[in-house]
Amino acid sequence: MYSPLAKGPKLRCFDPLDTIASGGFLHHRHRGTMYPPFIDLAATRALAASWDSDADDIFIASHQKVGTHLTKRFIVELLRHALADRPDSVYATGDIGHGTVPWPEVMVSQHGRAHFDAHLARTAGHPRLWYIHSRIADLPLRRIHPRTRFVVVYRDPRAVAVSQYFFYRQHPLLAVPADLTLDAFVDLFLAGDLYFGDYHRHVSDWVAAAHPDIAPDRILALRYEDLVEDKPAAARTLARFLLPGWTPPEGTLAAIVQSTGFDRMKEEISGNPQSFHFNPATFFRAGTVRDWENHLSPATAAAIRARTRSAWPGPAHPIPPAD
């Protein structure tokens, strides 16, 4: 077993495992899509056969390395302030780790169904927050309550490719070759057969609410770039969607803007990780919106841009093409 944090929780990996043709990227497959080795597919199937979401459930639905942890911080801070008068609030400490905001397939894989059920009981009566990376077609749910809400986060694909490249190479469980070049990774990224499937299709299906049991008005799509560059507007948008009837005061907005700053998050989690399971010194890398320009060659950036314009075409598409 391995741990992303020196003193953090150890994650088990589950056989059988495979690698991609060029080596590394330990995985197994669920419905044709690659899943990381620390998810037990039996747990995924069990959730999909038995778990029904609740009216107050909130899911952050994202691919990997698109601002998931930043979105968690925004929502947890909104809930912390909105529920400040509740002594039993699970958000009182501001924890954004798996103890407060679980990844359900990982929770059941690593800790068992009893631990998952205990979390359901502990958080009953709260707006319950989860994060998932699955395609919309592969949600680990049997039934979706019509009032369940989904916050979809997406990011410039050029930035996603760069961030995933560094993340996967440093992840202790994935066996990604140390000599893998960024250009070689971009080829894999564009081919679309990596963890949780093709990024462009993943985002398109979520934004289009491509699921018979999810109404479009139960999905809020947010750009990572807006979470970084216009924090007050992002906080207000999230509050309207998740907490109708509650308007965050200006002082609360100012506190959320401060708490979602990259350096502030990294410093606070480093000093008090609570149940956060990654070492921020390793996995909080840049926190900016155009760092990809420092890493991608013009030709490689152009190749991603061409794929984006093809997958997310024209002004009529809900996702703007890359500039």
pLDDT tens-place string over residues 69-125: 999 999 999 999 999 999 899 999 989 989 999 999 999 999 999 999 999 999 999
Residue 42's pLDDT band, with cuts at 50, 70 and 90, is: very high
138-180 pLDDT per residue, tens: 999 999 999 999 999 999 999 999 999 999 999 989 999 999 9
**Average pLDDT of the residues of the chain:** 90
Quick one: pLDDT at residue 287? 63
> What gap in Å lies between CA 131 and CA 129, rounded to an integer?
7
Average pLDDT estimate for 230-247: 94
Residue 167, beta-bridge partner list: none
Q: Out of 51-55, 239-243, 260-264, which region has the weakest mean confidence (pLDDT)? A: 260-264
Residue 169, beta-bridge partner list: none
In this structure, is residue 9 part of a structural domain?
Answer: no
Quick one: pLDDT at residue 3? 43
> Whole-angstrom distance between the N-terminal and C-terminal Cα of the chain?
43
Quick one: pLDDT at residue 10? 75
> What gap in Å lies between CA 258 and CA 255, rounded to an integer?
5
In this structure, is residue 2 part of a structural domain?
Answer: no
Quick one: pLDDT at residue 259? 87
Whether the pLDDT of residue 67 is over 60: the answer is yes
Return the percentage of the chain with pLDDT > 70, whole number: 87
Quick one: pLDDT at residue 231? 94
Q: Tokens for 39?
A: 């998810």
Give the count of domains, the chain.
1
In this structure, is residue 119 part of a structural domain?
Answer: yes
Quick one: pLDDT at residue 4? 46
265-300 pLDDT per residue, tens: 667 666 666 656 665 655 665 667 789 999 999 999
Longest dimension (CA), the chain: 55
In this structure, is residue 319 part of a structural domain?
Answer: no
SS (H, E, C) the chain: CECCCCCCCCECCCCCCECCCCCCCCEEEECCEEECCCCCHHHHHHHHHHCECCCCEEEEEECCCCCHHHHHHHHHHHHHHHCCCCCCCCCCCCCCCCCCCCCHHHHHHHHCHHHHHHHHHHCCCCCEEEEECCCHHHCCCCECCCCCEEEEEECCHHHHHHHHHHHHHHCCCCCCCCCCCHHHHHHHHHHCCCECCCHHHHHHHHHCCCCCCCCHHHEEEEEHHHHHHCHHHHHHHHHHHHCCCCCCCHHHHHHHHHHCCHHHHHHHHHHCCCCCCCCHHHHCCCCCCCHHHHCCCHHHHHHHHHHHHHHCCCCCCCCCCCC
In this structure, is residue 317 part of a structural domain?
Answer: no
**Other beta carbons less than 10 A from residue 244's beta carbon:** 8
Residue 79 near residue 56 (C-beta atoms within 8 A)? no
Quick one: pLDDT at residue 280? 61
Quick one: pLDDT at residue 260? 87
Average pLDDT estimate for 55-61: 97
Host domain of residue 70:
47-311
> What gap in Å lies between CA 299 and CA 159, rounded to an integer?
15
Predicted TM-score of the model (pTM): 0.92
Residue 35 near residue 45 (C-beta atoms within 8 A)? no
Q: Tokens for 166?
A: 């560094």
In this structure, is residue 131 part of a structural domain?
Answer: yes
Whether the pLDDT of residue 2 is over 80: the answer is no
In this structure, is residue 75 part of a structural domain?
Answer: yes
Return the percentage of the chain with pLDDT > 90, whole number: 79
Quick one: pLDDT at residue 154? 95
Whether the pLDDT of residue 38 is over 70: the answer is yes
Q: Tokens for 116?
A: 């998952």
Report CA Rg, the chain: 19
In this structure, is residue 39 part of a structural domain?
Answer: no
Whether the pLDDT of residue 66 is over 90: the answer is yes
Quick one: pLDDT at residue 275? 59
Average pLDDT estimate for 213-218: 97
Q: What is the CATH number of the domain that holds 148?
A: 3.40.50.300
Nearest Cα residue to 320 out of 303, 299, 305: 305
